[in-house]
Amino acid sequence: MSSSSYKIALALSLMAAPLLCALAAGGDQHRPVLTRLAKDPSTSLYTASVGNGGPGPQLVLDLAGSLVWTTCMPPYRLIPCGGSVSDRLRYTALLKNPKNTAYYIGVTGVAVNNVQVPLPPGALSLSARQGTGGGALSTATPYTALRSDIYRPVRDAFAEATSGFARAPATKPFDLCYQKSALPSTRIGLYTASIDLTLAGGQNWTIVGSSAVVEVSQDAACLAFVDMGTTATPAVDHSPAVIIGGHQMEDNLVVFDLEKWQFGYSGLLLGTMTRCGNFDFSMGSH
Ligand X SMILES: *[C@@H]1O[C@H](CO)[C@@H](O)[C@H](O)[C@H]1NC(C)=O
Q: How far is the CB of 195 from ligand X (least distance, A)?
A: 9
| Residue nearer to ligand X on the CB measure, 70 or 192 | 192
Cβ atoms of 32 and 89 within 8 Å: the answer is: no
* CA-closest candidate to residue 272, choices 172, 187, 177, 215: 187
The CA distance from 256 to 271, in Å, is 24
The CA distance from 142 to 253, in Å, is 17
Among 9-17, 58-66, 135-143, 195-203, the segment contacting ligand X (CB under 6 A): 195-203
Q: Identify residues 150-179 at the interface with ligand X (CB under 6 A).
A: none
Applying CB under 6 A, what is the total number of residues that bind ligand X? 7
Q: How far is the CB of 271 from ligand X (least distance, A)?
A: 19
Q: Which of 12, 123, 143, 196 binds ligand X (CB under 6 A)?
A: 196
Q: Does 92 bind ligand X (CB under 6 A)?
A: no
| Residue nearer to ligand X on the CB measure, 78 or 199 | 199
The CA distance from 220 to 266, in Å, is 28
Among 42-50, 92-100, 196-204, 268-276, the segment contacting ligand X (CB under 6 A): 196-204
- Could you tell me which residues come within 8 angstroms of residue 175 by beta carbon, excluding any fewer than 6 positions away? 155, 222, 223, 227
Q: Does 198 bind ligand X (CB under 6 A)?
A: yes
Q: How far is the CB of 197 from ligand X (least distance, A)?
A: 9
Cβ atoms of 150 and 119 within 8 Å: the answer is: yes
Q: Does 111 bind ligand X (CB under 6 A)?
A: yes
Q: Does 202 bind ligand X (CB under 6 A)?
A: yes
Q: Where does this chain bind ligand X (CB under 6 A)?
A: 111, 114, 196, 198, 202-204
